[in-house]
Chains A and B, each alone.
Chain A
């Protein structure tokens, strides 16, 4: 939010970005006392660790281990509808310190016609208690979050992959997962693909340089070594000597071509 006031001066229309600048003056206690959430927060006040307001939306940071209790309190208070559940990988977020993943629960109350967002922090190993016992709809949302980000949910009835196939190695929405995909290790046609080099997720199994990827990210990952899974340090070494012969000419040509 601190970036917000400096932005208007360069741009001519100064009025609009100033609008969301007012809420940050609110303290955590102010937000907790907001009529939308006050009665629900009162039930589990000590489990709400932090609160933010941005663009008129309230975000409450809850204690991870007590999230089921918090969700139940909100449900009893009228937030009967779990709209969405989304995980975020904060590992590349600027100036972020603390746990790597966040899970956001978007709730809606028909009585108040209002939304509130609950959030918890976790890391790759610590499971978040599942809220499938509170809302049945959480089932697929949590499976998706597990599949895409590898966040564990304890107490989930069947925490298995939903969008990727069973046995896929990796979690695509993690920030260290390359956008062009990885060698999945699947050996479907051993007579066509070399040892250890099965079809690649997101490509046709062609060599890396023939694959069209966004924004020249290929340079970071280089060619695909056999049986290499994920962004191990090996490709960086493999990539470095390759552009060495004509580094100056090759690099800009690719950038322009993109």
Chain B
């Protein structure tokens, strides 16, 4: 029963700071949140059902549409899972591997830039939005030069990559990398020591490492709580073992630490990109596809494969019946879905305006939550 001061308010589904169509049912006492209940499913398109009804290569464009701000990593997770069930992971040519890493890291930077832009604008800082979109635009231009698409890239294939880097593309990435660290400095000069920013983020939504693991949190929120765990290091895929990078971790597990983690991750992604350019220039141009059968019919079995997507662990669980060219079942483990589950715990006792910061700091994409 309600106390006289309590009331129930719908936050979303049509609200700019819910980053899509998330609805949160709030029970509030004045401005203070007593209980928050996320209600999802407004963007459910039955992607997993569609996967069961089309051949493996046809599924790749559908993976783009799950986490639509990081489609390259979605592609990567899916093609690697299928390669794993086919048993051809070792056959992927080195040039294709490095190209995949380049695209994933560019995608990670662009996803984090979009996160920073919207997170800052949610909290009330308008300017970072323009700065972030300036660099994000350059990354989208690079994607467009590679595959023609800017958002839904469909840029990977089972067994390799569809096409080689266009002429001059690698030099453009090099030029971008050379300028990007300065750009991150610029964002940080706007926010990191900003008194208003710190008042809005320090101590908000503190997540202990034990709780983070209990709730299955992955990605920057887990690292923000001080758990040094990154799938690129823990269970490396593609050419990550030979690349040098650090895993930034936070100390307090609050919104501010998660912000710092993502900022540091962008710098690390840039560092990875800088190492990839000389590596890919040593490989033979055009050596992009493994010699595997054009008809993808995996043996009977099941695999779970996951990669480090910008938002956390993105996993694909594929069951094959060994008879057809379709997945018998393809379950997606989206990082946003699992991370969002911790929202009620994080929001309890905070103000409604902090809920906006918390939704931003979890970094959800509803296309991925609802699939």
Q: Residues of A with Cβ closer than 8 Å to B?
A: 1, 3-4, 7, 11-13, 16-17, 19-20, 54-55, 57, 59, 80-84, 86, 88-89, 92-94, 104, 106, 110, 113, 115, 117, 135-137, 139-141, 144, 148, 161-165, 172-173, 177, 179, 202, 214-215, 217
Contacts and interface: CB of A to CB of B under 8 A. Distances in A.
Given A17-B86, A94-B323, A110 B229 contact: yes
A208 B301 CA distance: 36
Given A13-B291, A93-B321, A140 B338 contact: yes
A20 B53 CA distance: 26
Given A57-B303, A179-B53, A214-B54, 19 more contacts: A7-B297, A12-B291, A13-B292, A17-B87, A55-B87, A83-B304, A83-B306, A83-B315, A88-B319, A88-B329, A89-B329, A94-B322, A106-B317, A117-B304, A135-B216, A140-B338, A163-B370, A177-B49, A214-B53
Contact of B341 (A55, A139, A202): A139
B50 A137 contact: no
Nearest to A145: B331
B61 to A, nearest CB: 14
Q: Which of A11, A12, A16 has the most CB of B within 10 A?
A: A16
Contacts of B304: 57, 83-84, 104, 106, 115, 117
Contacts of B301: 1, 20, 54-55
Interface of B: 40-41, 44, 46, 48-50, 52-54, 84-88, 90-91, 213-216, 229, 234-235, 291-293, 297, 299-304, 306, 313, 315, 317, 319, 321-323, 328-329, 331, 333, 337-338, 341, 370-371
B59 to A, nearest CB: 12
10 contacts: A13-B91, A17-B87, A17-B299, A54-B303, A88-B319, A106-B304, A135-B216, A140-B341, A141-B338, A179-B52
A80 B302 CA distance: 22
Contacts of B323: 94
Contacts, number: 130
B24 to A, nearest CB: 14
Given A13-B292, A19-B87, A57-B304, A172 B49 contact: yes
Nearest to A16: B88
A137 B322 contact: no
A248 B320 CA distance: 34
A89 B315 CA distance: 19
A135 B214 contact: yes
B55 to A, nearest CB: 11
B40 A162 contact: yes
Contact of B41 (A4, A54, A163, A217): A163
B329 A164 contact: no
A162 B328 CA distance: 23
